[in-house]
């Protein structure tokens, strides 16, 4: 049995706050459907204090903004985007198209078609999350998406130049300085100035996540995502200082970001808690990290490595960092996670910022049924069929007639009958009149 040294707030409290978010988002989406650009402008003024003549940046504006970014930042953006691009290309190469002849003259095939237009939401608000531009836009372009609309909010009324540079260098076809529910709704339903997209990808706060959830079906989305999560798995060899630093690295994302430690060592658990408390007062992002740790941090002590992985899978967290003697054992033992970070030489922040795997990952238990954003999310895997052999047309036509009549689908049966009649001269009793 696990011993819990630190609890999170009850789930009921979290659910109550989500109810308010849901109600607000429903109203905003309905208003934008009805009033379009006028509503978008009002919400941008209300939430971001931002109301330019045009929310979309012109090519000249983009060029000027990119030119203002230090060269080192540009070089770093290009390097990281190449890592993301390389990994996405390997993913694309792993997805085969094929055509196979299953019977004489019966050809079945599979191909991948990119969605025509995708929306990329790059969060802003407090932090200029340039890395989200790499993850959403570069990956879409590798998949072959023709039109990528990228939205990011201003930060305290200012243009986030580095984010705009990242969006441009990633290949965005349209760059809009627009954030929040108003950005997601505009991309999804369209306005007089913005054509709608087919799919929206990218992380965001609770309101952005809820907007994507409500619009799913009308458009595609990458996945249902909530606050960033980190789960650190540690044995008795793990360094409590490293555990603490890495837990806080994700807690700073927001006051509702869960940070959890599971360890086989009570000493590691207690020392990690002490290190967190020591480090927190000096963190520049303490105003987010402290409530995240206080309300959503957890520490569990288990009796064995088996229990460690069993409990870890039950969490089904977004990020799982494995600080054990045999970190690659997690590849065999775990099945429910967004991404694994194996060994002390690897950290979740690498995945967030620089290493090349995608950082848009499932949260709130969604890892039980999906992985994260990847190149395949922007592709529609479709099939096609062709029957040219008369013997196969006869076989399948007769079989279709029998199988359809078992299900009382006479119309389907007749469609099969016609193929058998054309190929082999079968009678059509239902057509004698």
How confident is the model over 151-203, as pLDDT tens digits? 999 998 899 999 999 999 999 999 999 999 999 999 999 999 999 999 999 99
Q: How confident is the model at residue 10 (pLDDT cuts 50, 70, 90)?
A: confident
More confident residue, 338 or 13: 338
What does the pLDDT read at residue 164? Answer: 98
Cβ-proximal residues to 146 (8 Å cutoff; 6+ apart), any chain: 114, 116, 117, 173
| Local confidence band at 144 (pLDDT 50, 70, 90 cut-offs) | very high
pLDDT tens-digit profile of 252-299?
A: 999 999 999 999 999 999 999 999 999 999 999 999 999 999 999 999
Does 423 score more than 70 pLDDT?
A: yes
| Residue 253 a catalytic site member | no
What burial class does residue 228 get, using C-beta atoms within 10 Å of its C-beta: 0-12 exposed, 13-18 middle, 19+ buried? buried
- The pLDDT of 50-77, averaged and rounded, is 98
Question: So what's the pLDDT on residue 432?
Answer: 87
Which class for 417: exposed (0-12), middle (13-18), buried (19 or more C-beta within 10 A)? buried
Taking the C-alpha atoms of residue 173 and residue 62, their distance in angstroms, rounded to an integer, is 11
Whether residue 114 is predicted with pLDDT greater than 70 in this model: the reply is yes
pLDDT of residue 241: 98
Give 225-242 as a DSSP string: --S--EEEEE-TTS-HHH
Question: Is the pLDDT assigned to residue 376 strictly greater than 70?
Answer: yes
Q: What is the per-residue pLDDT for 225?
A: 78
Question: Region 372-389: what's the mean pLDDT?
Answer: 98
C-alpha atoms less than 13 angstroms from C-alpha of 227 in its C-beta half-sphere: 20
CA distances from 246 to 131, 238, 282, 345, 346 (A): 18, 12, 15, 12, 10
Q: 323, 233 in Cβ contact below 8 A?
A: yes
Active-site position among 174, 229, 275, 318: 318
Q: How far apart are CA 149 and CA 200, in angstroms?
A: 9
* pLDDT tens sequence across 235-260: 999 999 999 999 999 999 999 999 99
12 pLDDT band (50/70/90 cuts)?
Answer: low
**pLDDT given at position 108:** 98
Q: What is the DSSP letter of 147?
A: E
Angle at 220 between CA 367 and CA 361, to 5 degrees: 25
Compare 329 and 433 and report the one with higher pLDDT.
329
The 3-class secondary structure across 57-126, one letter per residue, is: CCHHHHHHHHHCCCHHHHHHHHHHHHHHHHHHHHHHHCCCCEEEEEECCEEEEEEEEECCEEEEECCCCC
Indicate the average pLDDT of the chain.
96
Mean pLDDT of 300-313: 98
Query: Which of 366, 301, 306 lies closest to 338 in space, CA to CA?
Result: 366
Span 65-94, pLDDT tens digits: 999 999 999 999 999 999 999 999 999 999
pLDDT for 207-228, tens place per residue? Answer: 999 999 999 999 999 998 788 9
Task: Write down the pTM of the prediction.
Answer: 0.94
Q: DSSP string covering 326-388, please?
A: STTHHHHH----SEEEESTT--HHHHHHTSSS------TTGGGT-----GGGGEEEEEEEEE-
**Residue 181 in tokens:** 């529910």
Contact 140, 134 (CB under 8 A): no
Task: Say whether 318 is catalytic.
Answer: yes
Catalytic residue among 134, 319, 344, 359: 319
């Amino acid at each position: 049995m696990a011993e819990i040294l630190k609890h999170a707030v009850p789930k009921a409290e979290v659910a109550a706050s989500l109810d308010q978010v849901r109600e607000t988002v429903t109203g905003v989406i309905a208003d934008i459907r009805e009033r379009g650009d006028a509503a978008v402008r009002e919400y941008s003024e209300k939430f971001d204090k931002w109301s330019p003549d045009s929310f979309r940046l012109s090519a000249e504006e983009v060029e000027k903004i990119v030119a203002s970014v230090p060269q080192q930042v540009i070089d770093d953006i290009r390097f990281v985007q190449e890592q993301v691009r390389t990994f996405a290309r390997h993913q694309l190469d792993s997805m085969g198209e094929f055509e196979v002849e299953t019977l004489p003259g019966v050809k079945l095939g599979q191909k991948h078609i990119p969605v025509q237009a995708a929306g990329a939401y790059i969060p802003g608000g407090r932090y200029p999350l340039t890395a989200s531009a790499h993850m959403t836009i570069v990956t879409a372009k590798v998949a072959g998406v023709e039109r990528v609309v990228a939205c990011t909010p201003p930060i305290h009324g200012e243009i986030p130049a580095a984010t705009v540079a990242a969006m441009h260098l990633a290949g965005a076809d349209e760059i809009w300085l627009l954030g929040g529910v108003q950005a997601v709704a505009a991309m999804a339903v369209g306005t007089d100035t913005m054509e709608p997209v087919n799919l929206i990808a990218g992380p965001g706060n609770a309101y952005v996540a809820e907007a994507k959830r409500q619009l799913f079906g009308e458009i595609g989305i990458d996945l249902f995502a909530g606050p960033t999560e980190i789960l650190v798995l540690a044995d008795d060899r793990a360094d409590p200082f490293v555990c603490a630093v890495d837990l806080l690295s994700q807690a700073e994302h927001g006051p509702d970001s869960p940070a959890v430690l599971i360890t086989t060592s009570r000493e590691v658990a207690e020392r990690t808690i002490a290190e967190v408390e020591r480090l927190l007062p000096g963190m520049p992002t303490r105003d987010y990290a402290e409530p995240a740790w206080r309300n959503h941090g957890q520490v569990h002590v288990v009796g064995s490595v088996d229990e460690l992985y069993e409990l870890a899978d039950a969490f089904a967290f977004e990020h799982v960092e494995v600080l054990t003697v045999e970190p690659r054992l997690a590849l065999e033992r775990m099945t429910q996670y967004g991404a694994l970070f194996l060994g002390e030489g690897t950290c979740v922040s690498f995945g967030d910022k620089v290493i090349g795997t995608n950082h848009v990952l499932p949260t709130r238990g969604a890892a039980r049924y999906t992985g994260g954003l990847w190149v395949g999310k922007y592709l529609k895997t479709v099939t096609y069929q062709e029957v040219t052999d008369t013997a196969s047309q006869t076989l399948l036509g007769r079989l279709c007639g029998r199988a359809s009549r078992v299900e009382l689908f006479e119309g389907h049966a007749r469609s099969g009958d016609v193929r058998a009649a054309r190929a082999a001269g079968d009678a059509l009793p239902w057509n004698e009149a």
